[in-house]
Amino acid sequence: MNETQEWTTVIKPKDKLWSIDFKELWNYRDLTTLFVKRDIITQYKQTILGPLWFIIQPVITVLMYMVVFGGIAGIGTDGIPQPLFYLAGTCMWQYFADCLNKTSNTFVNNSSLFGKVYFPRLIVPVANVTSNLLRFGIQLLLFIIVYIIYSITGCAASVNLYALLFPLLVLMMAGLSLGFGIIISSMTTKYRDLQILFSFIVHLWMYATPIVYPLSMVKGKVVAGIDMYTVMRLNPVTPVLETFKYGVLGAGEFIGWGWLAYSFIFMSALLILGIVIFNKTQKSFMDTV
Amino acid sequence: MATAIEFNNVSKQYRLGLVSTKTLSHDIHRWWTINIRGKEDPYLKIGSENDRATKADSEYVWALKNIDFKVEQGDVVGIIGRNGAGKSTLLKLLSKVTGPTTGTIRAKGRIGSLLEVGTGFHPEMTGRENIFLNGAILGMTKAEISRKLDEIVDFSGCERYIDTPVKRYSSGMTVRLGFAVAAFLEPEILVVDEVLAVGDAEFQKKAIGKMQNVSQGEGRTVLFVSHNMASIRQLCKNGILLKNGTVEKMGDVQDVVDYYLSSMQTVSDFNREGNGAVRITDFRIRNTSIALGEDLNIEIDIEALQNVEKVDISFDIKDESEKQVAHVASNDDDYQISHMNPGEKKTIHCVIKNVNLAPGGYTSSIWIGTHYIEYDMVLNCIRFSVVQSGDFIKRVTPYDRFSKVVLQSKWE
């Protein structure tokens, strides 16, 4: 009866809750890099401006914020020049939102591919999050250029040691968007309502995150008996964004290690939950998508 | 020999109809029964057999039901059956595209599946980029693809366009490139679905040749789905016939194909032409295998749906290479149905006398109509074979494949 050990593939209706085959994921690493390459190559094919769009989008967004929030509404920016303040927030948020939007449609967008061939489905959202880094990198470059221009003209923004947390912050943004994205994508295979609902929520989420206003502004504000400052900080994206803005701009004050740890734990739990749900879905989604 | 693939009581259930609010209520019911009351899935019991023609009495259907078989290592197995018999579902389960509802599938070795050519091709990328992408999707590593790149390009015959985006390719070229990548996959188990039915005749020949090399040369296990019985016979050793989601017959490929061809003779399985004023409802042939020079007996049931003045009947008999060898018509014998009222049914009996076609397999279409109107035509539905026996002719030399008819002769 040793024969059972020889089987290399066993296909059963249900797997254990946690049955991620990390070795398999590693075996398909070439596919991951090729997907990343595909996303990058094809994104702006047959456009005249090409990757310039990476820059045009945040520039226009920031100009818009300067007019609406900085100008008309008169919302302060913790004494940081408006373009820098908005650009820092937009770059980070845009990376998060792009990843989330793309990964949350993983199953629906790739159903024709997933219906024909097997590979670990998790590769697709991971490749999404990775390929979006290019866009993020270019926008970050824009931020640095603007930053240098302001430094030369001698402005208040001051980079400090917390800026060293930057790689961790990007990792957390990627983790959060991946976690949320794969959970949403797993839920939308059957009921498309959720897809519409979530794209709407992502839209509103931005306003619940300190991007167009500083977190310090929320301090002490109580709406309907709820302390908005606490609620804002419970948003797992807030600590990441605030730390970034504090680190590179010296805007406001450091949110505290506790909140950053909270955000990190939130991300880890979300990722684990997401992978479990995603894994459960990937086996049968072809029948319901 | 060792077993390479084992299906153990595998079933797959699908839900009919649309995913809608009812889906949600079923999901809630299912979740309630399994998780709260701790019972079995209530919808697993009620699935009905998968027969397209009958109206479903349940919302759930078994695309595959209790499939049980083993495939030896190095075997080339052809899977045949009508549309909807479950062939593709079976391959999908084996390729891990979707999971079984019950049962277990076990396999030894890497499974490479080819359910479509050019899966994941991106129209904006060049041929070369797509070779890498497609190869990786099929499970090859970058290094493997680089090593075989020249061969792949050469096999596809697209060398000139290899750095052009695939969207500029003709559909034929896309298919060739897709097949070329797949042809150089080297898994221990290869699963192929109907992909050879693409491209021009020359490329098909090349593709089948390549398939033959792959399956015979290196002791690889191949599962192959096709509607083309000629290529099934040519490529496979064993066959599995599926019918309505169950295994109807398995064994030597020649037997299984013969059984399939003779068992699927109902009118609704074939392609139809005509305006439908009169319909062919059924047909029977007394003997699917006749001795040289014997009579062929065919009975046809027809039913008029409109008033018609005249009905002629004829047969187009074709040989195995689809070349017409004879045309037999009712007016050859001055037989004609002069008038039919709507709803009227008739049974026609035809004897084709002394069939002296060269031994081999033949098919025939049934046509009913008049000089200028075609009422109904059932394409290639009659299958029969002529065998060399009886006393029509004493023949010692075997017939070569170009002989179409057998002529009696007198010598002095």
Q: Which residues of B167-184 are buried (b: 16+ CB within 10 A; e: fewer)?
A: eebeeebbbbbbbbbbbb
Decide if B96 and A118 are in contact by the 8 Å CB cutoff: yes
Among B27, B97, B120, the residue with its CB nearest the CB of A118 is: B97
Per-residue pLDDT averaged across A175-196, rounded?
Answer: 83
Among A7, A113, A284, the residue with its CB nearest the CB of B98 is: A284
Q: Are B70 and B100 within one domain?
A: yes
Inside any domain, residue B343: yes
Q: Are B277 and B258 within one domain?
A: no
Per-residue pLDDT averaged across B195-208, rounded?
Answer: 68
> How many whole angstroms separate alpha carbon B316 and alpha carbon B327?
5
Inside any domain, residue B311: yes
Q: Can you read off the two tokens belonging to residue B304?
A: 């008029």
Residue A38 contacts B, CB cutoff 8 Å: yes
Is the pLDDT assigned to residue B111 strictly greater than 50?
yes
A-B Cβ pairs (cutoff 8 Å, strict):
105
- What pLDDT is stored for residue B314 in this prediction? 93
Q: Are B251 and B297 within one domain?
A: no
pTM for the whole structure: 0.72
As for how many domains chain B has, the answer is 2
Decide if B115 and A287 are in contact by the 8 Å CB cutoff: no
Chain CA centroid to CA A136, Å: 10
Q: Are B374 and B232 within one domain?
A: no
Residue A46 contacts B, CB cutoff 8 Å: yes
- What pLDDT is stored for residue B200 in this prediction? 67
Among A11, A31, A113, the residue with its CB nearest the CB of B96 is: A11
Q: Are B345 and B299 within one domain?
A: yes
Is the pLDDT assigned to residue B86 strictly greater than 80?
yes
Residue A28 contacts B, CB cutoff 8 Å: yes
> Which residue, B237, B263, B289, sits at the end of a domain?
B263
Q: What stretch of H or E contains B112?
A: strand B111-114
Which of these, B383, B350, B349, B369, lies nearest to B279 by C-alpha position? B369
Inside any domain, residue B305: yes
Q: Are B276 and B251 within one domain?
A: no
Q: Are B250 and B104 within one domain?
A: yes
Q: Are B294 and B368 within one domain?
A: yes
- Which residues of A fall within a CB distance of 8 Å from B136? 28, 30-31, 34
Q: Are B221 and B302 within one domain?
A: no
> Which residue, B263, B285, B303, sits at the end of a domain?
B263
Per-residue pLDDT averaged across B383-403, rounded?
Answer: 78
Span of A175-184, A195-204, B365-374 with lowest mean pLDDT = A195-204
> How many whole angstroms separate alpha carbon B83 and alpha carbon B88?
9
Which of these, B225, B21, B173, B136, lies nearest to A31 by C-alpha position? B136
Which of these, A50, A101, A62, A84, lies nearest to A158 by C-alpha position? A84
Cβ-proximal residues to A156 (8 Å cutoff; 6+ apart), any chain: A79, A80, A81, A250
Q: Are B286 and B348 within one domain?
A: yes
Q: Are B71 and B204 within one domain?
A: yes
Q: How far is CA B282 from CA A14, B175, B350, B395, in A?
A: 46, 39, 14, 37
In terms of residues, how long is chain A? 289
- Which residues of B fall within a CB distance of 8 Å from A45? 124
Top-confidence residue, B40 or B172? B172
- Indicate the DSSP class of residue B153: H
> How many whole angstroms separate alpha carbon A72 and alpha carbon B355?
96
Inside any domain, residue B118: no
> How many whole angstroms separate alpha carbon B152 and alpha carbon A130?
30
- Which residues of B fall within a CB distance of 8 Å from A287? 14-15, 98
> How many whole angstroms separate alpha carbon B355 and alpha carbon B357?
6
Residue A287 contacts B, CB cutoff 8 Å: yes
Decide if B106 and A10 are in contact by the 8 Å CB cutoff: yes
> How many whole angstroms separate alpha carbon B42 and alpha carbon B59?
12
Is the pLDDT assigned to residue B271 strictly greater than 80?
no
The pLDDT tens digits for A34-59 are 888 888 887 777 677 777 878 888 88
**A175, HSE (Cβ side, Cα atoms, 13 Å):** 20
Decide if B129 and A41 are in contact by the 8 Å CB cutoff: yes
Among A28, A34, A287, the residue with its CB nearest the CB of B98 is: A287
Chain CA centroid to CA B354, Å: 32
> How many whole angstroms separate alpha carbon A241 and alpha carbon B25?
41
Helix, strand or coil, per DSSP, at residue B124: coil
Among A9, A35, A38, the residue with its CB nearest the CB of B111 is: A9
Label residue A157 by pLDDT band (50, 70, 90): low
Domain containing B225 — which CATH number?
Answer: 3.40.50.300
- Which residues of A fall within a CB distance of 8 Å from B94? 11
Among B23, B99, B137, the residue with its CB nearest the CB of A11 is: B99
> How many whole angstroms separate alpha carbon A27 and alpha carbon A39?
20
Q: How far is CA A222 from CA A73, A214, A231, B121, in A?
A: 20, 16, 10, 54
Among A11, A37, A190, the residue with its CB nearest the CB of B105 is: A11
Decide if B98 and A283 are in contact by the 8 Å CB cutoff: yes
- What pLDDT is stored for residue A110 in this prediction? 81
> How many whole angstroms separate alpha carbon A96 and alpha carbon A94?
5
Domain containing B238 equals 3-9+66-110+187-263
Residue A41 contacts B, CB cutoff 8 Å: yes
- What pLDDT is stored for residue A2 in this prediction? 43
Is the pLDDT assigned to residue A143 strictly greater than 90?
no
- Indicate the DSSP class of residue B358: P
Q: Can you read off the two tokens belonging to residue A254?
A: 């450091």
> How many whole angstroms separate alpha carbon B141 and alpha carbon B174?
22
Q: How far is CA B122 from CA A201, A251, B373, in A?
A: 31, 44, 47
Domain containing B350 — which CATH number?
Answer: 2.70.50.60
- Indicate the DSSP class of residue B80: E
The nearest CA of chain B is from the CA of A30 a distance in Å of 6
Span of A124-133, B112-121, B127-136 with lowest mean pLDDT = B112-121
Find the farthest-apart pair of alpha carbons in chain B and give their distance in angstroms, rounded: 94
Show which of residues 95-154 on chain A sit within 8 Å of chain B, judged by CB atoms. Answer: 113-119
Inside any domain, residue B290: yes
Top-confidence residue, B316 or B287? B316
- What pLDDT is stored for residue B196 in this prediction? 61
Decide if A116 and B93 are in contact by the 8 Å CB cutoff: no
Residue reference for tokens 């035809």: B350
Q: Can you read off the two tokens belonging to residue A146?
A: 């603007």
DSSP string, chain A: -GGGGG-SEEE-S---S----HHHHHHTHHHHHHHHHHHHHHHTTT-SSTTHHHHHHHHHHHHHHIIIIIIIS----TTS-HHHHHHHHHHHHHHHHHHHHHHTTHHHHTHHHHTT--S-TTHHHHHHHHHHHHHHHHHHHHHHHHHHHHHHTT-S----GGGGGHHHHHHHHHHHHHHHHHHHHHHHTT-THHHHHHHHHHHHHGGGSTTSS-GGGTTT-EETTEEHHHHHHHSTHHHHHHHHHHHHH--S----HHHHHHHHHHHHHHHHHHHHHHHHHHTTHHHH-
Is the pLDDT assigned to residue B390 strictly greater than 50?
yes
Inside any domain, residue B394: no
Span of B55-59, B129-133, B312-316 with lowest mean pLDDT = B55-59
Residue A31 contacts B, CB cutoff 8 Å: yes
- Which residues of A fall within a CB distance of 8 Å from B109? 8-9
> Which residue, B239, B263, B287, sits at the end of a domain?
B263
Decide if B100 and A11 are in contact by the 8 Å CB cutoff: yes
Helix, strand or coil, per DSSP, at residue B183: helix
Q: Can you read off the two tokens belonging to residue B223?
A: 């599962």
Q: What stretch of H or E contains B273?
A: strand B272-273
Top-confidence residue, B178 or B1? B178
Residue A280 contacts B, CB cutoff 8 Å: no
Per-residue pLDDT averaged across B129-143, rounded?
Answer: 87
The nearest CA of chain A is from the CA of B85 a distance in Å of 17
Using a CB cutoff of 8 Å and minimum separation of 24, what contacts does A66-75 make?
A69/A212, A69/A213, A75/A212, A75/A213, A75/A217
Top-confidence residue, B266 or B386? B386
> How many whole angstroms separate alpha carbon B145 and alpha carbon B187?
14
Taking an 8 Å Cβ-Cβ cutoff, which residues of chain B contact chain A? 14-15, 19, 23-24, 27, 92-111, 113, 115-116, 119-120, 122, 124-125, 129, 132-133, 136-139, 141-142
CB neighbourhood size of B15 (10 A): 17
Residue reference for tokens 């019985």: B229
Q: In degrees, to the nearest 5, what angle opens at C-alpha B319 toward C-alphas B316 and B325?
A: 50
Among B19, B100, B125, the residue with its CB nearest the CB of A41 is: B125
- Which residues of A fall within a CB distance of 8 Å from B101? 13
Give the chain A residue nearest B119 (alpha carbons).
A113
Decide if A116 and B115 are in contact by the 8 Å CB cutoff: yes
Q: Are B238 and B300 within one domain?
A: no
| Domain extents in chain A | 19-40+49-288
Give the chain B residue nearest A40 (alpha carbons).
B125
Inside any domain, residue B222: yes
Is the pLDDT assigned to residue B349 strictly greater than 80?
yes
Cβ-proximal residues to A277 (8 Å cutoff; 6+ apart), any chain: A182, A183, A186, A187
> How many whole angstroms separate alpha carbon B324 and alpha carbon A59?
72
Q: Can you read off the two tokens belonging to residue B9?
A: 């009581």
Span of A67-76, A257-266, B38-47 with lowest mean pLDDT = B38-47
